[in-house]
Amino acid sequence: MKCSIPKGTRDFLPAEMARRNYIFDTIREVFKTFAFEPIETPSLENLSTLMGKYGEEGDKLLFKVLNSGDFMEGVDFTQDYHKVAPRICDRGLRYDLTVPFARFVVQHRDQLTFPFRRYQLQPVWRADRPQKGRYREFYQCDADMIGSTSLLNELELVQMIDAVFERLDVEVTVKINNRKVLAGIAEHIGAPDKLVDITVAIDKLDKIGLDNVRAELRERGLDDTQIAALDPVFALTGDATEKLGQLAKLFEGNEVGTKGVEELKELFGYIAQVKPHCHVELDLTLARGLNYYTGAIFEVKAHNVSIGSICGGGRYDNLTGIFGMPDVSGVGISFGADRIYDVLTELDKFPANLGQPAKALFINFGAGSLPYAISCAARLRAAGISTLIYPDNAKMKKQMDYANRCHMPYVVFVGETEIASQTLTVKDMTTGTQSTLTLEQVVGLLA
């Protein structure tokens, strides 16, 4: 039998896990500095929790899990799939971490203190077509604030994005828009009932180009006059302040659009105060296809790589209302760890010493030297230095080859001379130099 795994999933070798953990640890530490608290939710959610929250296209990408037992009994399989599916599947793998978080907040509302700030690093699943940078199983690293409408929360999301990618040494652009602006645009062109169709189409602008977006809008029921009325929006020029000024004039008398412009002006005013290292821009074509967004929306792209969005998010004003807890606003972002991994690989930004199983390898000279080696290795580990004793009394060449293959920076020799003098001989595998030192000196060197 040929060994394989499903398309769109991956195994991770130790060196790859070291790199992934570097990303996770960096993101987690930034979340903690902004006072977010960790939670976890199950991989499986009830389909009633997931369905209808991501739009028509999102629902198609949900992995549905067949019920246990005789789930086929009494089911008419000649019916439409969407009528059959609820009869044979009542659970699914989570599509993202945000909708399960909304369910979590409602279910545990009496145990939480609002405003509540959570972070979550867990895998999600999408029945998508696998391709470069797009997987069926991948990790998201989310941070959300819920129970506050203040735009200071959006500012902190931008600051966290800036902090994460500064630590990872990746230049990024943060694109910002507001779903109220998009609703205002839909109203401006006389198609307020087509907001979802407009956002789904515009969200593909970078991928398929303006002409194809126009064609898709026609397919979704907009006429040529309405599509042409979008041109002034696509043609806006200048920085954020200039674009918002032009948009404010376009939205005179348009309440929802004006509200979106005001929110963006306030947010960009805050951003100007903190002067982030990353580039931040207003992108009025940014839509983000998820239906639950209602206010500010974010997308992050890395410079000098061909990979798409590596982080995104936005404001959702009533996601918990679906589960019986209305009028609780939240906002959050999600870092795509797998895409960030690909970016760091393409840009060669991972630190060189990641993936070392040990900083020091003790050469095994046999039973006579093991008690002293074991004692010294324990002291190094107690000092926080990753240490390994080669398990077998093998030939010296084999043990040294092992140290080289594992990229261990130091090898420690413990023979009769070292035992008698209570010292250690340490070889620097990079320079090839050897030194005989006391145990405390070795701790100081390696620490």
Place of tokens 């998009």: 182
Domain locations along the chain:
14-43+95-347, 46-93, 360-446
Write down the CATH superfamily of domain 360-446: Anticodon-binding domain (3.40.50.800)
Say whether 360-446 and 14-43+95-347 share the same fold: no
Residue 360 Cα distances to 17, 22, 153, 258, 428, angstroms: 20, 21, 45, 63, 10
| Residue 290, pLDDT score | 65
14-43+95-347 — its CATH code? 3.30.930.10
Cα separation, 209 vs 219, whole angstroms: 16
Provide DSSP, 56-88.
HHHHHTPPEEEPSSSTTTT--TTS-HHHHHHHH
Question: Which secondary structure element, helix H or strand E, spans residue 243, and what is its range?
Answer: helix 240-250
- List the structure tokens of 190: 């006389």
Cα separation, 91 vs 334, whole angstroms: 23
- Among 48, 47, 81, residue whose Cα is nearest residue 64: 47
| Residue 289, pLDDT score | 64
Answer whether 156's CB lies under 8 Å from 180's CB: no
Provide DSSP, 308-371.
--SEEEEEESSGGGGGT--S--EEEEEEEHHHHHHHHHHHT-S-TTTT-S-SEEE----TTTHH
Cα separation, 199 vs 179, whole angstroms: 9
> Which class for 206: exposed (0-12), middle (13-18), buried (19 or more C-beta within 10 A)?
middle
- pLDDT tens digits for the chain (447 residues)? 789 999 999 999 998 999 999 999 999 999 999 999 999 999 999 998 998 888 778 888 999 988 876 667 666 666 665 666 666 778 999 999 999 999 999 999 999 999 999 999 999 999 988 887 678 999 999 999 999 999 999 999 999 999 999 999 999 999 999 999 988 988 888 888 887 787 778 778 777 888 888 888 888 888 888 888 888 777 778 889 999 998 898 888 899 999 999 999 999 999 999 999 999 999 988 887 667 889 999 999 999 998 889 999 999 998 888 888 998 999 999 999 999 999 999 999 999 878 788 999 999 999 999 999 999 999 999 999 999 999 999 999 999 999 999 989 999 999 999 999 999 999 999 999 999 999 999 999 998
φ, ψ at 411 (rounded to 5°)? -120, 135
Q: Say whether 135 sits in a helix, a strand or coil.
A: coil
- Among 131, 146, 119, 151, residue whose Cα is nearest residue 298: 151
Q: Say whether 176 sits in a helix, a strand or coil.
A: strand
Provide DSSP, 366-433.
-TTTHHHHHHHHHHHHHTT--EEE-SS---HHHHHHHHHHTT-SEEEE--HHHHHHTEEEEEETTT--
| Residue 76, pLDDT score | 66
- Among 347, 345, 317, 313, residue whose Cα is nearest residue 330: 317
Q: Which DSSP category does 129 fall into? A: P
